Amino acid sequence: MGLLRIGLIGGGGISATHARAAREIDGVEIVAVHGSNREKTWALAREFGGVPRDTLEDFFDTPMDIVAIGSPSGLHAGQAIAAARRGIHVLVEKPVDVTTAKVDAVIAAADRAGVKVGVFFQERRVPEIAALKARIESGELGEPLSITGRLEWYRPPEYYAGSRWRGTRELDGGGALMNQGIHTVDLMLWLFGDVKQVSGRTKTRLHKIEVEDTASALIEFENGALGTLHATTAAFPGFPRRLTVTGTKGSVEHEEPARAAAVADATPHRRVFEDFIHAIETNGTPACDAREGRRSVAFVEAVYRSSQSGRWEKP
């Protein structure tokens, strides 16, 4: 394809990770950066290259092949649709957006424009998780019986107080489940398949935010397996994320690396970029496209509905 031109939307830490990941790939150039915080945007451009753009219109006036979106979650759909209308492929940070209705709008716009939309669910690209997926699919663990996801993290008050969007219903869409826990949700669905129904409860127990800081769910999968999920940002001092899979022939527990090491390492994000570029070059489907990314948002919405209704809900 020759030189691939990438634009970055967002000036925060996740966009810096996107930039580090893209810079590690031969034949890729960052050509433009746009974000709501001018100081952070210009700093990102100075470090990784690309022209800083103060408006989205000016940003999209820069010729590019791919846009990597790392803005607040509730802005993803509008920015992705704007890119699609210009014929630009989209890699969007999780979640695709904060409602399935907005995700559906992204999918429709991409289909009309003939562009691809991928999602940064980079945990799928971790070798240990990919190996676990292969063991399940090969039958090595037998028939799936149960899966447990535990995300017990701690976020200090300033994590929310110092942000205009974190913990808000409009731009974050939810709290510990929609933001932090959605990676675990994606892995559980990827490993065990579609969900038949879910019963969940959400609470705001510690933080002064509009959305939940604690969520728990009981899951029944279409294949008959059961699952449990617990996600919180109120568990001081915080613990590693754990995923436990049990089959009729054995069990596996996966624990994530220390958070500081995981945040600093852009390798999983680079693998997402590489897979996405390959999909463009071969006219294939990204490992996690927008339709696949929709599943986790639908699941989270079902948990939220269940918490309100007190009933089992179907994603």
253 in the same domain as 133 = yes
CA distance 310 to 224: 22
242 in the same domain as 183 = yes
Residue 178 covered by a domain: yes
Total number of domains constituting the chain: 2
pLDDT tens-digit profile of 61-93?
999 999 999 999 999 999 999 999 999 999 999
Q: Comparing C-alpha atoms, which of 240, 151, 223 is closest to residue 187?
A: 151
269 in the same domain as 250 = no
161 in the same domain as 98 = no
**Residue tagged 């613990």 (tokens):** 239
239 in the same domain as 188 = yes
- Tell me which residue range forms the domain holding 209: 124-261+296-309
176 in the same domain as 31 = no
13 in the same domain as 132 = no
Q: What are phi and psi of 255, to 5 degrees?
A: -120, 130
3-state secondary structure (DSSP) of residue 215: strand
180 in the same domain as 102 = no
Query: Which residues in the chain belong to E strands, given as ranges?
Result: 4-9, 28-34, 51-53, 66-69, 89-93, 117-120, 144-152, 195-203, 214-221, 226-232, 242-247, 250-255
Block means of pLDDT (10 residues each) for the chain, 315 residues, are 90 95 96 96 96 96 97 98 98 98 98 98 95 97 98 97 96 98 98 98 98 98 98 97 98 82 80 97 97 98 98 98
Residue 56 covered by a domain: yes
pTM: predicted TM-score of the whole model, two decimal places: 0.96
Tell me how far the alpha carbon of residue 213 is from its chain's centroid.
18
Sort strands 250-255 and 242-247 into parallel, antiparallel or unpaired: antiparallel
172 in the same domain as 241 = yes
Residue 17 covered by a domain: yes
CATH number of 27's domain: 3.40.50.720
Q: What is the per-residue pLDDT for 2? A: 73
